[in-house]
Structure formats: C-alpha cells, structure tokens
Amino acid sequence: MYRSTADRNVFMSLANQILTINDDFFIRTHQPVHRGKVRAVYWLTKEDSQRLAKEKNYDVASDALLAVMVISDRISAFDCIWKADGGLNGVPGKGAALNAIANYWFKLFKANSLTDSHILDIPHPYVWIVQKAKPVKIEAICRKYITGSMWRAYAKGARKFCGITLPEGLKKDSALSELFITPSTKGILTGIPGVPETDDVNITRKNIEDNFAAFNFSTVDDIAQYETCLKEGFSVISNALAEMEQIFVDTKFEFGYVTDTSGKEKLIYIDEVGTPDSSRIWDTAEYKVGNIVENSKEDFRQFLLNYFSDPDILLNKNRMSERKSLALNNTLPVDALMNISKTYIKIAEKIIGQPIHLSDNPKQEIIDILKTEYNLYPINLNVPV
C-alpha cells in the first residue's frame, strides 16, 4: 500500500489531520443526526437551544431550535464521495478552508447590510452553531460566464435555460451580457405542474411564481426579495474577488426563513456561500491571456471526467447507479486529492488574508470545545475519539 516507511508516516499523520467521519460525535440531540455528503447536523434539544441562546446572547427567537453543524474533509463531486489510494479518504484542510471562506463572506455581507445568515457562532474552524430555518426548496445558480453544464448544453444546441434565451454565437468561457439566475429544485418535489419529480432539475421563474408555496416561499412577493439577495450577494463577493485579481464566474446560493427576536419572519442565507465547492473562481491575469486557471473544485471535476474512460457516467443522471458504483469501487491517485487541497488552501488564504492552520487532531479539538465551552455532552460520558 505504501511505497516507503516515510510514505506510511505521512499518511498516518494526515489521517489525524483529516476529518472524514463527522456523524459520530456524542452531542445531545433531540432527533437523529442528519448526514449530508459533506456536513453532519446535530439538532440540539429544546433545553440546550434555549440555554445556549441565553448564555451566548444569540439574536434568535425564544423558541428557536439550534444545531451544531460539523463539516468534513470529504470530497464530493457529481453527487458522489471520492477517495484516494493509501486510505486517503479526504482532502487535507478542505473543511477549514471552506468554512473560513464562507465565514469571511458572511461577515462582509453584514458589513454591507445584506440579509443575515443562519450562522450564530463558530466554535471551531470545522463547526458552526446555526439556527433552524424553513428552507426554500431551490438551489439558485448565479452565472456571469458561460461554462460548465451550461456550455455543454449550449454546445449541443440548447438556447433556453430556466426560461432565459441565450443569443447565438457565444464562445466557451465568455462573459454573459448580465448575471443570469438559473434555479433548480432542491430535493424531489412532487405535484408541481411542469416540474419533473427529480432532484436538481432546472425550473423557471414562472414555475416558482405559480407554485411559490410548494417551493416553501411564504408569499409570492418574497421571490423578488430572494432575487435581490442573490444579486446583492453575488455582487459583494464578485467585487471583493476582483480586488484580489480573481473572477467570480458562478455560484450557488440557498435561502430559508427564520423568526427574529421580535417574532417577525425573515428570509436569510443558509449553507455556505462563495466557496470553491459551490462556485467557480478564475485567475484574472490568466483569463486575460486566454487561459483558464481554476481556483475551485472544477479542476477536480475535470480530472474525474478525463480519468475515467466513460465520462458519460458522471454526466448522465440516468446512470446514477453506475456512478455510485464507480466512486465506491475506485480509488484515485493521491495527487488528485492533494492538488485540490493546495487549491482550496491557496484561495482561502488569498481571500481571508491569513494562513489556514491544519489541526493535528480536529476531532478531539471539537469534542473538547463542545464539552467544556458549550456543555453539549452528557455528564460523565467517556467519549471515544
């Protein structure tokens, strides 16, 4: 498995630094742990939610439910988790880099008087304390350049995207005339006319207007607010990246509703924003001379498309069972994960303006903080690591 003793020692050290399993913390919860592709969510008890809100002075309603959200270093692409040779099952520094970037943008949003996010506290680089939100069942992709899946469809003759018609003659990776919003469903939604019962299917603004309640909007007027939040969020991040000689190509936003301390419902950002996982970011200087240098997960996606002999498995949603088998039964070269680690850490350090420090043992650090500073573990529990 290992080429030398030195390689073995390096991998053993990385094994402690990488957090791949994040759903086995013994945090007091009132329901099963939600296990996502990358994050695990622990919904706290009513008592712990109210206690923390009071102790930490969180700006939430008195009956708000809170959660501990733990990010992992797992790498997801094409809706699958990928691993590398030698037992390297995650990307060193990925979780810390993504959280640091999202935290930076949310602080910038607040400084620019944008709407709030669901994040209340950041106990550890891998952990958020969040409030429960009623999620809007839409993933909104904002696009300023034609690339990725939009380009692949355009190159095959498609001209309509989510109710928007693109002109003829566009070139790959070129700037669009304006910021395009191309929403898709979040989860499988049933009973909506004209919307297939499939996850991540493109929808139009009219689909949303005609069925706003099915998408979890409280009122039809909130659709305009959601679009405003999309454009404002994209603009703030895009302008900041431009000053760093980076191009904000496209990104995904998600939203939900919470109730504030006065009892008023408000629409907020949920999940991460502006990270290399949810966005494409290009180097400006290289783009000006005709080169695309990715500072995001797109390089890893392209690696996968080139690595496997039948890339249609990764692109064709009708072959999902084959795709899952491909990810489960194959390990990638170590460099594939180490290269994305370098990309994530480099762009994170550029954005936040300081180094990303890799913990020697993030799992133990998280346990210690949540036990001693947040009192979220059962008394006298001997917690294994």
Domains in the chain (CATH in brackets) are 5-133+322-372 (3.30.200.20), 134-288 (3.30.470.20)
The rounded distance, in Å, linking the Cα atoms of 7 and 43 is 39
Give the residues of the chain that fall short of pLDDT 50: 1-7, 9-10, 380-381, 383-385
Helix axes 334-352, 94-111, angle to 10 degrees: 30
Tell which residue, 83, 135, 99, has the closest CA to residue 352. Answer: 99
CB neighbours (10 Å) of residue 56? 15
Start-to-end CA distance of the chain, whole Å, equals 25
The amino acid occupying position 63 is: D
The amino acid occupying position 88 is: L
Longest dimension (CA), the chain: 67
* DSSP H or E run through 349: helix 334-352
Q: What does the DSSP 8-state code read for residue 308?
A: S
Q: What share of the chain is helix, strand, coil (3-state, %, to 5)?
A: 35, 20, 40
Torsion sign over Cα 158, 160, 165, 170: negative
* pLDDT of 4: 46
CB neighbours (10 Å) of residue 209? 12
* pLDDT of 1: 43
Torsion sign over Cα 203, 204, 209, 210: negative
pTM recorded for the entire structure: 0.91
Q: How far lies 310's CA from each of 38, 127, 305, 313, 315, in Å?
A: 26, 37, 8, 6, 10
CB neighbours (10 Å) of residue 254? 19
Cα 299 to its chain centre, rounded Å, is 16
